[in-house]
Structure 1
Amino acid sequence: MTWMKFAVWLFGFYTLYYAAIIFWDQLRSKRAHTQQDKHELTFVEDIEPIRSHIEESAANDTGSSIASSGGVSLKQMFNLAREEVIEYTRAVSF
């Protein structure tokens, strides 16, 4: 038996195997639709909005040196390192 024949037979067995599983699953799902007892899982969360303290803290700004906090792209990070805006502990190759 050559490798090509082996591969073809293996592909054929896998195809038949998965076709049989799909057929069996379809057959079972048709039987499940005929039953009257259907279960549906639902989740309900009662979420109430809360007032954010960000506006209040922005009004009480004490002149912090932080311009913004959040994610930056890699290019922006290198630009910030070049301008010595951020503190880094190892050498960064530009």
Structure 2
Amino acid sequence: MTWIKFAIWLLGIYTIYYAALIFWDYLRTKRGDTESDKHELTFVEDILPVKSPIDEVSASGKESAVAFSGGVSLKQLFNLAREESVEYIKSVSF
């Protein structure tokens, strides 16, 4: 038996196996289509809102030195690095 024959036999066996599994699933779902046969799990949790510690810090009046202005493009990031507005630890080629 050559490797090609072996691969073809193996491919055929796997094809038949998976086709049989698909066919078996198809037969099982066709048989039990009634509404009472379907099982559905539902979970209900009583979740109470919790005050986050971030809200408490900002409400206490402590301001951070870091200002967040949103995302910047790569070109703006390099400009900020040139102006030494951002701290970077590795060398950046401009």
TM-score of the aligned structures, taking structure 2 as reference length: 0.57
Which residue of structure 2 aligns with residue 11 of structure 1? Answer: 11
Q: Show CA shifts across 1:41-69 (max 9, x none).
A: 23445667789949xx49x685x542207
Which residue of structure 1 aligns with residue 85 of structure 2? Answer: 85
Q: Which one is further off, 42-51 or 17-26? A: 42-51
Which residue of structure 1 aligns with residue 20 of structure 2? Answer: 20
Which residue of structure 2 aligns with residue 2 of structure 1? Answer: 2
Opposite residue 88 of structure 2, the aligned amino acid is Y
Q: Give distance in 2, aligned partners of 1:73 and 1:15.
A: 52
User: CA separation of 1:44/1:35 partners in 2, compared to 1, >3 Å: closer, same or farther?
Assistant: closer
Which residue of structure 2 aligns with residue 36 of structure 1? Answer: 36
1:66 partnered with 2:66: yes
The runs of 5 or more residues in structure 2 that have no matched partner are: none
Q: Give distance in 1, aligned partners of 2:11 and 2:45.
A: 48
User: CA separation of 1:85/1:40 partners in 2, compared to 1, >3 Å: closer, same or farther?
Assistant: same
Q: Show CA shifts across 1:8-63 (max 9, x none).
A: 11111110000001111111122222473321123445667789949xx49x685x
The runs of 5 or more residues in structure 1 that have no matched partner are: none
Length, aligned pairs only? 89
